[in-house]
Structure 1
Amino acid sequence: MDEPKAAKQKRTCNKKVIFLLGALFPLGVIALVTIAVVQNKPLPKNIKYGIVLDAGSSHTSVYIYEWPSEKENDTGVVQQINDCKVEGNGISSYGHEPTKAGLSLQKCMNKARQVIPEMQQKETPVYLGATAGMRLLRLNNATMAEEVLSSVENMLRSFPFDFQGARIITGQEEGAYGWITINYLLGNFIQDSGWFKYMPNFKPTGTSGALDLGGASTQITFESKKEIESQENSLHFRLYGKSYDVYTHSFLCYGKDQALRLQIANSVPTATDSILMDPCFNSGYRRNTSTSDLYSSPCISNLRISTAPSFLDVKGTGNYQLCKRNVEAIFDRTRCTYSHCSFNGIFQPTLDGTFGAFSAYYFVMDFLKLTKGEISLDKVKETVERHCSKPWDEVKKEFPKIKEKYLSEYCFSGTYILTLLEFGYGFNSENWNDIRFLGKIKDSDAGWTLGYMLNLTNMIPAELPYSPPLSHATYTGLMAAFSILLVCIILICWLTFRKPKCLHKGII
């Protein structure tokens, strides 16, 4: 029996409608995806650069940073791309030959010229911050300090960068900028803002304290939830829409190099026939020290004794316990006019939160293999004591590539770090693992230089910059998906409730 004509027309019409929908649907999807891809095509990167010179007491380092200009106010976008350690000592050592201070920077600045594209060099800011070494030189001889700064300024102006000045920063600034650096790189400033705080099981960790140890000074900085009784140790920041009350203090003369001088100067009265037996050096190690050079530092000058010999023959005995006792003697824990002090009568609130320890803290503890994972305070002490007890010949054989000056001082430095953190600041076995020894964070060196540049370039806004809850790519993708869904719903409804005219042909 032949199929009715009306049925044939209906089936033919349905095929046409389905074919039309089938053709239009992928075309619509392709069109929407194309628009989304074109709209979100990555723009050419507009990279900016910055250079900061850390003129420390023992050496100078040059750090080169980059960041995408369109994300200038985002946290964690500035990254270190290169660094260069200047040969020789710190610029403060050139007090009698200031011209050489500037010349010493030439090699590393030439390296910076090779790293930064020529077209962007004129707009690349250069900052030099001098720390405790120059602070001590200024105390000793202000004229010498100015001549050294003038020398490095003249050298830096000779390069095709945007030189922004060279200055001696205060200890408080050094501590504050170190705190800003590590929290910026860790993303702590905006981690509890925006949509993150609405995520399930979200727990804001707050900021991390900063422990910085240089050659001539040491800084401790952390956010305090308690009253800061000493205003000179109090800082207030407004960063990314949140307020922070921060405690900071810089101890000039308590960097590891000056602390070693203090320890030796305290021991001079015990010397016999110019021979000083020192428990903070490995047994078998010997060093000839000029007392005039020893007492030349403002940190030591008040310890000068008239009967001191011209030279000291320092002989190591490698005794951790005696070394610890000698080191403790340079801290004054007998006076405090506040509710709580660290040492030398300086106010310090109760330690709170986690801490990042960097600079010499990291280098010394990394040498002793004490930076990975959680290691108990007792285990750290055992490790330092074991290193101190090794004969000098054995130490040299074990580490043949390390310069003798640095290698010879690891016993003292390890003992000093333990004493400073435990006896000085009040860390103990319960909160020892709140300290993380940091070398780099996301390929950037932990230190004060990045925070210094962020502050001077105003890249950390006081208020949190507005940003929509969704990225442009996510927004476009969702719009495309929901548009397709909506079209499909409309077509289905139209086909269901309003049949095409062709379907009515031939129907009685």
Structure 2
Amino acid sequence: MVVLAPVLLISFVLLLMQHTPASASGGGLLAGGRRWGPRAVDDGSTKYAVVFDAGSSGSRVHVYCFDGNLDLVPIGKEIELFKQATAGLRALGTERSEEILQAVRDLLRDKSSFKSQPDWVTVLDGSQEGAFQWVTINYVLGKLGKPYSNTVGVVDLGGGSVQMAYAISEKDAAKAPEVADGEDSYVKKLLLKGTTYYLYVHSYLHYGLLAARAEILKASEGNDYNNCMLEGHHGMVACFFNHLGKYKYGDDTFEASGSSSGASYSKCRALAVRALKVDEPACTHMKCTFSGVWNGGGGDGQKNLFVASFFFDRAAEAGFVNPKAAVAKVKPSDFEEAARRVCKLNVKDAQATYPDVSEENIPYLCIDLVYQYTLLVDGFGVDPYQDITLVKKIPYSNSFVEAAWPLGSALEVASSS
């Protein structure tokens, strides 16, 4: 569970009201009509949503305040109260994590005045995370309540998975292929600010940045994996890494040493394309992204793309985005150009050239940038010269809001009342 299911986010949402009537209305619509999340009370009063996110690298608390029109209201001087706490649940394993979740459920039931149900303290799957992040970004941009063609698409590159989410037409939604039992459907139906949206969302497990390194190394034949590794990489030690030029991910360890001839952009890119399984034969009757996954049909909801998480981090570290900026306009080709520069370097020169990159990530800077370009262009079909928006925080009412899923989760619940 530690890294093979890296999109698992332990979360719950609590709704606090200025007044608490005896009755409550139903939860919000998500996943084709399935109700998810706590039930909010509609008495016209201000709503405070508290979201706890216990992820892999730490636990975080987000607090939001909504007025009767579902607009964010400042809490003191801040639009969003945010607190990073220590430790996440992901590294504890399934059994221990469930024990903690049950303890939280018991606490809320027995000793808290918060409204709660046992299933409100839950594991958030990748598709839910992608959907909520789409809600967050479109809400802050003022797009919700408008036609789907006015919304923006979202790509979120995590460590273990990558999510794509964008609104499609009802006609395209009806063309969504059936999925196997136990798999998430491609389309989620959301009712937000009085408007119904058909949201294409898919979470690609094993294709987050850290997991993709393993997939690319796995796709190598012989020792051509070293085409992606910087010369001089023979012994880095870190959380996800092992010594002697090896890369450890989950229960697997891969050869990842550099060669005396150094990395090769073109050869590494060929490996990345192979790892993405762009020509997967499982998708022969419709257009796909990669690995046999339906692409949603495209359309206006995808024309403006907001890209988050590791995309922003690597762009900032590679020097073509201001690390202090909240948003930045780039093109996929910027990742390609950065990759071509990096792949020519050895570890020592890369450390001197890119001082903001951590020591454990330096040997993997070539493979990371190559993968990010390949994912956008070959995986998601984005034109290399199309403008995309890298986003970390989004301006809102003279403040900034994290471009992350918790606000979308809180809004989905608040809008249901």
TM-score, normalised on structure 1?
Answer: 0.58
Query: In the alignment, does 2:230 pair up with 1:282?
Result: yes
In the other structure, the counterpart of 2:27 is: none
Shift of 1:438: 0.6
Q: Deviations over 1:40-87 (max 9, x none)?
A: xxxxxx986544333334x1251433325xx14324547653434455
5+ long unaligned stretches in structure 2 = 1-44, 179-184, 237-241, 322-326
In the other structure, the counterpart of 1:358 is: 308
In the other structure, the counterpart of 2:136 is: 181
Rounded to whole Å, the distance in 2 between the matches of 1:399 and 1:278 is 21
Shift of 1:351: 3.0
Rounded to whole Å, the distance in 2 between the matches of 1:207 and 1:147 is 40
Rounded to whole Å, the distance in 2 between the matches of 1:144 and 1:423 is 39
| Aligned partner of 1:403 among 339, 348, 358 | 358
Comparing 392-401 with 71-80, which one deviates more in the overlay?
71-80
Q: Secondary structure at the match of 1:215?
A: coil
Shift of 1:277: 5.5
Shift of 1:397: 2.4
Which amino acid letter does the alignment assign opposite residue 188 of structure 1? K
- Aligned pairs (5 A) from 1:6-17: none
Query: In the alignment, does 2:398 pair up with 1:453?
Result: no
Query: In the alignment, does 2:394 pair up with 1:441?
Result: yes
5+ long unaligned stretches in structure 1 = 1-45, 96-141, 193-203, 301-309, 463-508
Compared CA separation, residues 157 and 365, structure 1 to 2 (3 A): farther
Which amino acid letter does the alignment assign opposite residue 408 of structure 2? G
Is the Cα–Cα contact under 8 Å of residues 64 and 407 in structure 2 kept in the other structure?
no
Rounded to whole Å, the distance in 2 between the matches of 1:396 and 1:205 is 44
Query: In the alignment, does 2:347 pair up with 1:348?
Result: no
Rounded to whole Å, the distance in 1 between the matches of 2:228 and 2:370 is 8
Shift of 1:357: 0.8
| Aligned partner of 2:159 among 215, 227, 231 | 215
Query: How many percent of aligned residue pairs carry the same amino acid?
Result: 24
Is the Cα–Cα contact under 8 Å of residues 49 and 64 in structure 1 kept in the other structure?
no
- Aligned pairs (5 A) from 1:305-324: 312=255, 314-315=257-258, 317-324=262-269
Compared CA separation, residues 91 and 281, structure 1 to 2 (3 A): farther
Please say which structure displays the higher CA radius of gyration: 1
- Aligned pairs (5 A) from 1:181-260: 181-190=136-145, 206-225=150-169, 226-228=171-173, 229-230=176-177, 232-260=185-213
Compared CA separation, residues 292 and 361, structure 1 to 2 (3 A): closer
Q: Deviations over 1:12-52 (max 9, x none)?
A: xxxxxxxxxxxxxxxxxxxxxxxxxxxxxxxxxx9865443
Compared CA separation, residues 205 and 261, structure 1 to 2 (3 A): same
Rounded to whole Å, the distance in 1 between the matches of 2:331 and 2:337 is 10
Rounded to whole Å, the distance in 2 between the matches of 1:279 and 1:323 is 5
Which amino acid letter does the alignment assign opposite residue 73 of structure 1? N
Q: Secondary structure at the match of 2:345?
A: coil
Is the Cα–Cα contact under 8 Å of residues 64 and 80 in structure 1 kept in the other structure?
no
Is the Cα–Cα contact under 8 Å of residues 208 and 355 in structure 1 kept in the other structure?
yes
Compared CA separation, residues 233 and 277, structure 1 to 2 (3 A): closer
Is the Cα–Cα contact under 8 Å of residues 48 and 64 in structure 2 kept in the other structure?
yes
Rounded to whole Å, the distance in 2 between the matches of 1:441 and 1:341 is 30
Comparing 349-358 with 169-178, which one deviates more in the overlay?
349-358
Query: In the alignment, does 2:82 pair up with 1:83?
Result: yes
| Aligned partner of 1:143 among 82, 95, 108 | 95
Is the Cα–Cα contact under 8 Å of residues 212 and 358 in structure 1 kept in the other structure?
yes
In the other structure, the counterpart of 1:368 is: 318
Which amino acid letter does the alignment assign opposite residue 230 of structure 2? N
Rounded to whole Å, the distance in 2 between the matches of 1:357 and 1:182 is 10
Rounded to whole Å, the distance in 2 between the matches of 1:311 and 1:208 is 38
Compared CA separation, residues 206 and 172, structure 1 to 2 (3 A): same
Shift of 1:281: 3.0
What stretches of structure 1 move > 6 A for 4+ residues in a row?
151-161, 290-293
Shift of 1:346: 1.1
In the other structure, the counterpart of 2:53 is: 54
Comparing 145-154 with 244-253, which one deviates more in the overlay?
145-154
Shift of 1:385: 1.2
Q: Deviations over 1:122-150 (max 9, x none)?
A: xxxxxxxxxxxxxxxxxxxx535524645
More contact order relative to length (CA 8 Å, sep ≥ 6): 2
Query: In the alignment, does 2:345 pair up with 1:390?
Result: yes
Rounded to whole Å, the distance in 1 between the matches of 2:187 and 2:155 is 16
Rounded to whole Å, the distance in 1 between the matches of 2:49 and 2:103 is 21
TM-score, normalised on structure 2?
Answer: 0.69
Shift of 1:159: 10
Rounded to whole Å, the distance in 2 between the matches of 1:49 and 1:417 is 37
Rounded to whole Å, the distance in 2 between the matches of 1:386 and 1:52 is 41
Q: Secondary structure at the match of 1:219?
A: strand
In the other structure, the counterpart of 2:273 is: 328
Rounded to whole Å, the distance in 2 between the matches of 1:162 and 1:283 is 56
Rounded to whole Å, the distance in 2 between the matches of 1:155 and 1:263 is 44
In the other structure, the counterpart of 1:266 is: 219
- Aligned pairs (5 A) from 1:423-442: 423-429=378-384, 432-433=386-387, 435-442=388-395
Q: Answer 1 or 2: which has greater helix percent.
A: 1
Q: Answer 1 or 2: which has greater strand percent.
A: 2
Rounded to whole Å, the distance in 2 between the matches of 1:416 and 1:152 is 39
Which amino acid letter does the alignment assign opposite residue 328 of structure 1? V
